[in-house]
Amino acid sequence: MESTKTYWKGLEELNNHPEFIKNSIKEFPEFSSKELNVNSDSIAEEGSNRRDFLKFLGFSVAAASLAACETPVKKAIPYLIKPEDVDPTNANWYASSYVDGGDYASVVVKTREGRPIKIEGNKKSTVSAGATGVRAQASVLGLYDGSRLRSFQEKGAEISFEAADKKIISKLQEVVAAGKAIYVVTSTVCSPSLNAAISAFAAKYSAKVVAVDPVSAYGISKANELSFGSAFIPSYDFSKAKTIVSIGADFLGTWLSSSEYAKQYSKTRKISEKNPAMSKHFQFESIMSLAGANADYRTMIKPSQEGLVVSNLYNLVAGKLGAASISTTQLSDLPNLKLAAENLVKTKGYSLVVSGSNDPAVQILVNAINNLLASYGSTIDTSRKSNVKLGNDAAFAHFVSKVKDGSVGAVLFYNSNPVYASALGKELASSLSKVALKVSFSDRVDETSSLCDFITPDHHYLESWSDAEPKTGSYSLIQPTITPLFKARAAVESFTAWTGSPVDSYTYLTNFWKSNLFPKQSKYTSFQAFWDKSLYDGVFELPASSSTLSFSGDVSSAASAVSKRYKAKSEGFELVVYEKVGMGHGSNGLANNPWILEFPDPITKATWENYLTIPISLAKKLSIKMEFGNTQRVTLKANGVSLTVPVLVQPGQAPDTVGIAVGFGREKVGKAGNGLGVNAYPLISVANGFANYAISSGVEVSTTGETYKIAQTQTHQTIMGRDIVQESTLTEYKKNPAAGRYFPTIATADGVVPTTDLSMWKMRERTNHSWGMVIDLNACTGCGNCVVSCQAENNVPVVGKQEILNSREMHWIRIDRYYTSDMTHEKAEENKIGAIDMYRNMEDPSENPKVVFQPMMCQHCNNAPCETVCPVAATTHSSEGLNQMTYNRCIGTRYCANNCPYKVRRFNWFRYAENEVFNFNEDLDLGKMVLNPDVTVRARGVMEKCSLCVQRIQEGKLNAKKNNRRPVDGEIETACSQSCPSEAIVFGDMNDKDSKIYQLMEQEYNKRMYHVLEEINVRPNVSYLTKIRNTEA
Amino acid sequence: MQVTSHVRAPLVTGGKKLHDVTEDICKQVEGKPTNLWYFAFGISVLALAYGSFCLYKTWTVGLGVWGLNRTVGWAWDITNFVWWVGIGHAGTLISAVLLLFRQKWRTSINRAAEAMTIFAVFCAGSFILMHMGRTWLANWALPLPNTYGSLWVNFNSPLVWDVFAISTYLSVSILFWYVGLIPDLATIRERATGISRKVYGILSFNWSGGAKDWQRYEQVSLILAGVSTPLVLSVHTIVSMDFATSVIPGWHTTIFPPYFVAGAIFSGFAMVLTLMLVTRKVFKLEDYVTITHIESMNKIITLTGSIVGVAYITEFFIAWYSGVEYEGYCFINRATGPYWWAYWSMMTCNVISPQLFWIRKIRRNIAATFVISIIVNIGMWFERFVIIVSSLHRDYLPSSWTMFYPTMYDIGDYIFSFGLFFTFFFLFAKFLPVINMAEVKSVLKSSSAKK
């Protein structure tokens, strides 16, 4: 059309101003230079008016302040090419093995997005059979330890692999040329491939290999050498034992392969009405050990009596079996010894005697008793030798003397920290400078490696290829689950490099297996198939050889040695040096592991340090009353060493004895572990070449008057006569399967009814799942494995000693440990003792108390007191019976925690993650890698508690749903039930008639099964089975 | 027609005329503050400042700065909360219940008592906010529409009842107090000039003093009195249910509602006495707050103190009579356990000390009354501490038994509430008439002493 209207946008367009025409073709017309041209130099010339000045001022202030607020850069780098086997949110599991100082566990490692985050037991192994120890559970955190070295070091400076190799090889050659000795000092190496590499290295440089364990079992292997002709440690099978006598061996806590034994032991402690057979366990010991706490009969002895207990037991057993007796000092009035002998003989062929002594004479007598009892071939297997502790104290002492006289030219420390963890540590440290070349494979600058010229850190086991042979014929693989975090190198690569034939660890391992193990089996024809299967399973077994050894020990000379060394009566204090269940020998990086450090000792419930355990009688003498962790420091003098240590009054500690744990007092291990407690290794004496963990003379304890606080997670020791743990004896149980049960009742208009018959609330129906848990108090040994497993699974923060002192530990599961008291309700009634005095006396444990353990976590009550009181409905009940916490909704009134009768709720008093005050693993980017991405890291001010591992339940349900089926029993396990070596915790769907939990509850309903605090009618989904003791009365 | 009683002691002494009342009371508002006022106010502000620092730390660092732990989840926070709520009870009781009962002696003290109530409830409220782990989400405890769909508060929870009870109580108290202030504010307005005339003019809602104004004033007062009377009973009943509805031995007690209400009135009256004794001295109001007033209040203290004492004994009896292990132990532990000193402080302060008022000489002695009023409030603080901490620290499972020790932040946050309370109170005393002039004037004819 002609009359198309033109709408002009401004006078410029109407006037066709030339500048407008020029600008109109540009998409973004510029402002006129006069208006706002900040960059123009003309400003200065033209001068700016007040408005401009204000604009510039405003801009610069805003710009400057914006520049000051630096947004932290979080690097989340996506995969450019997705690795084939990594699916975000899907976990990958790899079989591997955890091996450290006697601790062996075949494990499966859970990795998420390429990060190992959880260790679980591998049920395919016939050795560990799915059991793990606390240290294995915590080992995953060790991978992310910030104190690990990030490169090879030469005298504190970084050095490349090549340069280090060159220097070390040339130095080694110099040493060889100078004719000086070369030593390789290791802890027990049970990797056959690494042993081969070390042997090759030793052959090339004619080096001597010395194995030494921080806590030695040399006495046992020596005794076996004298008894059977070869030095070894046999396989014990506690599951076959009907009578167990342990003299100072904490076989459930620290002795040899204890998690394996705990698993076997629990099999003999699980009873039912149909099969009420149960092992009878006698323990003779000085300290209160975990095994002692589980024993049916526990007798306190002094370490100086230990040998005589064995020799007297020998005579009692021999007397009954008509064998010749030995001449020895009589221990006639020792309680339970006769009973133990009777039972041993009664169950001949199914008996087992073990001793924790490192004295070969004692161990020979133990072997002799076992021989009389026909234990060999039944409870003891000499054909499958245990390889976890092969240290030789004498060889190590010889090495130290060689260092001292200057005849050692080079020493390589592999997985060994003898400067710290040896009685000879001080001597070694002072003369180590005489050695020309010192190399350590330590992953950190520790007490030994700091004195070395080179530190060539080995990989963490989760980063490396290796293998293990924990028992003859039982092989186990170690495979990397993450690319090495730091510039460390596998020890086998270092050894082969220095031998002159460098080879990477994978090739070395596969070659080793190809040439050594593949030919020994016949199932697979191709090596690849054999390898794949072994790697998948993590383990490989060769059929056991049937060669049995026959006992030929010299009993009478052992007996006379024992008689000479041990006394029935002795004056003065005696000291026992022991290992803690959590820390163990503590000579490596574990001593810097916050999970281990905060792990409450199963017996003392103390964390973060060691202490001197003293008997109640001594505490009275020194007038030390231990209340709420408040105690005193004393001076301990023994073996020429004087230490100032806090004391912990330990019920069950033998009179006139004191105990102290090794593994603490580290000076160079890392931020978390330095300076905690005292080093007890120097207290160990050496007797006839054997490390002696009991010091029987010259022990002095004197008060300093200094007060001190020990951080315990439980400060009240007794059960106060309450029916929280219901228990009975086997004799009673056989008569009445509900023996020891307490059935609370209430009087109503219709007569007396069980309290649980009444309720204000209507029970909701569970149409789908009904999750629950049954905990067998008879099987639970109290080891605390579940505590660390739960911590790893649920991102439970570490809070430090001060917060433990403030009773603010965060563990979602705890093991309540109660001692019996001399005072009971019955006794008070009998003796007409008033309630006030009765309760006061009930607070004091007996001198030698019976002990019970009770795992305690959220009971997931159906009438949950916490749920009704939350003002914002942040804690609610799921349709599947779970008491669930909605962290986002929580406003932190803590009413739920107050109203929880079990006190299992944990409040975030501070921000525990990314807070430099709590500078444990969650403060570091490295340490945070261990966090389970399926579980929220809780914010400050919210409540948290056990969720029955809801993330695992959800995962299991989803997996089942994807396959269009119902979850199968056993498919879903909580972290605690999964990690329980004794399978005391049974988790499952109570609606599923095929489930283990359903059947167990069906079988034990109104018998052994009970709920804690049944009378308050909260109806928990967690049930307990009564504890049954195999005692006569 | 007014009848002057010859038997009853006069409520206002000194032969005050209506104008004297106005003069005496307005003097404080109109004049310059005294040095004593500056001194007291200065200390209050200092306490508030120090307390605010502690509060800042509590909120920024975390509740871990307090001495609480996994077993004892409440201690000083809720002790202080209940204590302040209790103190806040006297105001309503005096204004509402005594108004309904036509107790004329209340006229001299109701204003200050009501102000005290409001400030005490502020303090109580501050502890509600303080004790939350995530105070910044406190609004979640209100049943407000939200973006989460049908997510509401949990009406089962006594803490939600608390929110309703305290907020209702605070609003009604403020309303009641302010309505009562209007005629007096108008009096001050009339006497004032310049800016203060404007301010007091706005504050007095243009009160004209006409008959209609007075009629409406009386009506509103009566309605509010009717509304607040049940609140006197309900607020502390609901606070007591925080404990009574739980399962914890020592908390799970049906006796709590009446026992808490009596205790609240007990501590409230004691606090009113403490403050009034100081105020009458400082502001020279001896003729308005007479020994008769003090005696009447002392009688109520003795009554409520005795109710509380009976409640303590009943608790012990029931704990024994029930035969429940946990309940029995809880009370033995209270009296003989690690917190025995708190229990016996409570018993001495709350049960024994008010019995001294049976002696006429003591209940008419100002110094003795002052001391006992403070002792009662100390006792009532210990009562709440004993109930909360001694019950929690040893409940069902001995494995969790532990101790609570206060930290400097527990103390500092308590100081904060004192600072808040007294800062408000001194501001009130300076800028508003501390005695209800209008009501005192109404009783002057019938109950004042002849000159």
In this structure, CATH architecture of domain A727-1029: 2-Layer Sandwich (3.30)
Per residue in B181-190, pLDDT (tens digit) is 898 888 888 8
Residues of chain B contacting A836 with CB distance shorter than 8 Å: 332, 336
pLDDT score recorded for residue A30: 58
Q: What share of chain A is helix, strand, coil (3-state, %, to 5)?
A: 30, 20, 45
In this structure, chain A runs to a length of 1033
Chain A: give the shortest CA distance to residue B75, in Å: 11
B42: which residues sit within 8 A by CB, 6+ positions away? none
Instruction: Identify the DSSP state of B350.
Output: I
pLDDT at B271: 87
Backbone angles phi, psi at A49, to 5 degrees: -85, 180
The Cβ-side half-sphere exposure at A522, using a 13 Å CA radius, reads 1
* C-alpha Rg value of chain A to the nearest Å: 33
The tokens for A850 are: 């019976």
Structure confidence by residue, pLDDT tens digits, A495-541 = 999 988 889 989 999 999 999 888 888 888 899 999 999 899 998 88
Here the tokens at position B407 are 């930290």
**Pick among A898, A900, A943 to test the B interface (most B CBs inside 10 A):** A898
Write down the architecture of domain B18-143+152-447 according to CATH.
Up-down Bundle (1.20)
Tell if the CB–CB gap between A941 and B68 is shorter than 8 Å: no
Position A851 scores a pLDDT of 94
Q: List CB contacts (< 8 A) between B68 and chain A.
A: 894, 907, 909
Environment class of A757 (CB within 10 Å of its CB; exposed 0-12, middle 13-18, buried 19+): exposed
> Can you give the pLDDT at residue A500?
86
Contact B386, B339 (CB under 8 A): yes
Measured between its terminal Cα atoms, the distance across chain A in Å is: 117
Chain A CB within 8 Å of residue B407 CB: no
**A856: chain B residues, CB-CB within 8 Å:** 397, 399
Question: Is the confidence at residue B449, as pLDDT, over 60?
Answer: no
Alpha-carbon span B140 to B146, nearest angstrom: 9
Asked if A252 and A261 touch (Cβ cutoff 8 Å), the reply is yes
Q: Which residue of A has its CA nearest to B251?
A: A899
pLDDT tens-digit series, residues A413-447:
999 999 998 888 888 889 988 888 899 999 999 98
B179 interfaces chain A, CB cutoff of 8 Å: no
φ and ψ at residue B155, rounded to 5 degrees: -70, -10
Q: Which pLDDT belongs to residue B191?
A: 86
Position B1 pLDDT exceeds 50: no
Residue A904: pLDDT over 60: yes
Give the mean pLDDT of A590-595. 91
Minimal C-alpha gap between B143 and chain A (Å): 9
pLDDT at A31 exceeding the cut of 60: no
B143-160 pLDDT tens trace: 887 776 778 889 999 999
How many CA atoms are closer than 13 Å to the CA of B391, on its beta-carbon side?
Answer: 27
Nearest CA in chain A to B77: A893
pLDDT digits (tens, 9 = 90+) for A985-1005: 999 999 999 999 999 999 989
The domains of chain A are located at 11-62, 218-270+277-386, 578-709, 727-1029
pLDDT digits (tens, 9 = 90+) for A271-298: 988 888 899 999 999 999 999 999 999 9
A20 pLDDT above the threshold of 80: no
B142 touches chain A (CB under 8 A): no
Output the pLDDT for position A819.
94
> What pLDDT is recorded for position B74?
93
Mean pLDDT of A377-406: 87
pLDDT in tens, A559-588: 888 888 888 888 888 999 999 998 988 888
**Residues A291-326: tens digit of each pLDDT:** 999 999 999 999 988 889 999 999 899 988 888 888
Q: What is the pLDDT of residues B108-142, one digit of tens each?
A: 778 888 888 899 999 999 999 999 999 999 888 88
Burial class (CB in 10 A: 0-12, 13-18, 19+), A274: exposed
Using the Cβ of B139 and the Cβ atoms of chain A, whether some distance falls under 8 Å is answered with no
- B131 in contact with A, Cβ within 8 Å: yes
Q: Residue A758 — very low, low, confident or very high, per pLDDT cuts 50/70/90?
A: confident
How far apart are the CA of B162 and the nearest CA of chain A, in angstroms? Answer: 10
CA–CA gap between residue B260 and residue B236 (Å, rounded): 6
Question: Parallel, antiparallel, or unpaired: how do β-strands A181-186 and A408-414 relate?
Answer: parallel
- Contact criterion met (CB below 8 Å) for A660 and A636: yes
Q: Which residues of B touch A715 (CB under 8 A)?
A: 401-402
> Which of A54 and A773 is assigned the larger pLDDT?
A773
User: Higher pLDDT residue, B281 or B47?
Assistant: B47
| pLDDT for res A550 | 84
Q: What torsion, rounded to 10 degrees, do the Cα atoms A625, A631, A632, A637 define?
A: 90
Q: Look at residues A822, A823, A579 and name the one whose alpha carbon lies nearest to residue A680.
A: A579
- Contacts with B150 from chain A: Cβ below 8 Å: none
What letter represents residue B173's amino acid?
Answer: S
Preferred mutation among A716, A893, A904, A905 to probe B, highest tally of B CBs within 10 A: A893
Q: How far apart are CA B247 and CA A895, in angstroms?
A: 11
CB pair distance less than 8 Å for A807 and B69: yes
Are A702 and A635 a contacting pair, CB within 8 Å?
Answer: yes
Do residues B374 and B331 lie in contact, with contact meaning Cβ atoms separated by under 8 Å?
A: no
Q: pLDDT at position B229, please?
A: 84
Structural domain spans, chain B? 18-143+152-447
List pLDDT tens digits, range A840-867: 999 999 999 999 999 999 999 999 999 9
Query: What's the rounded mean pLDDT across residues A71-93?
Result: 78
Distance CA A282, CA A731 (A): 17
Residue of A755, A899, A902, A908 to mutate for B, most B C-beta atoms under 10 A: A899
Class of domain A578-709: mainly beta
Q: Residue B334 corresponds to which tokens in the numbers above?
A: 């209270």
B137/A contact by beta carbon, under 8 A: yes
CATH of A218-270+277-386, one of 3.40.50.150, 3.10.580.10, 3.30.43.10, 3.40.228.10: 3.40.228.10
Chain B nearest CA to A615, separation (Å):
21
And the tokens for A857? 């976590």
| Distance, CA of A55 to CA of A49 (rounded, Å) | 10
Note the pLDDT tens digit of each residue in A821-839.
999 989 999 999 988 899 9
Distance (Å) from the alpha carbon of A891 to chain B's nearest alpha carbon = 5
pLDDT score at A351: 92
Residue A70 in contact with residue A77, Cβ under 8 Å? no
Q: Which of A895, A909, A939 sits opposite B63 (nearest CB)?
A: A909
pLDDT at residue A38 above 80? no
pLDDT band at B2 (very low <50, low <70, confident <90, very high): very low
- Contact call for A818 and B396, based on CB within 8 A: no
Q: Is residue B246 very low, low, confident or very high in pLDDT (cuts 50, 70, 90)?
A: very high
**A899 contacts B402? CB cut-off 8 A:** no
pLDDT of residue A71: 65
Residue B4 — pLDDT band, cuts 50, 70, 90? low
Q: B58 in helix, strand or coil?
A: helix
- Residue B348 is given by DSSP the state I
Asked whether residue A807 carries a pLDDT value surpassing 70, the answer given is yes
**Which 8-state DSSP code applies to residue A938?**
P
| B-chain residues near A872 (CB < 8 A) | 140-141, 153-154
Asked whether the predicted pLDDT for residue A70 surpasses 80, the reply is: no
Cross-chain CB nearest to A908 (options B69, B73, B133): B133
Mean pLDDT, range A47-60, rounded to an integer: 80
Q: CA of B128, closest CA in chain A: separation in Å?
A: 9
Whether residue A44 is predicted with pLDDT greater than 70 in this model: the reply is no
Q: Which of B64, B133, B246 sits opposite A942 (nearest CB)?
A: B133
d(CA A906, CA A903) in angstroms, rounded, equals 8
Letter string b/e over residues B26-47, b meaning 16 or more CB atoms within 10 A of that residue's CB: bebbeeeeeeebeebbeebeeb
Q: Find the DSSP H helices in A627-679.
A: none
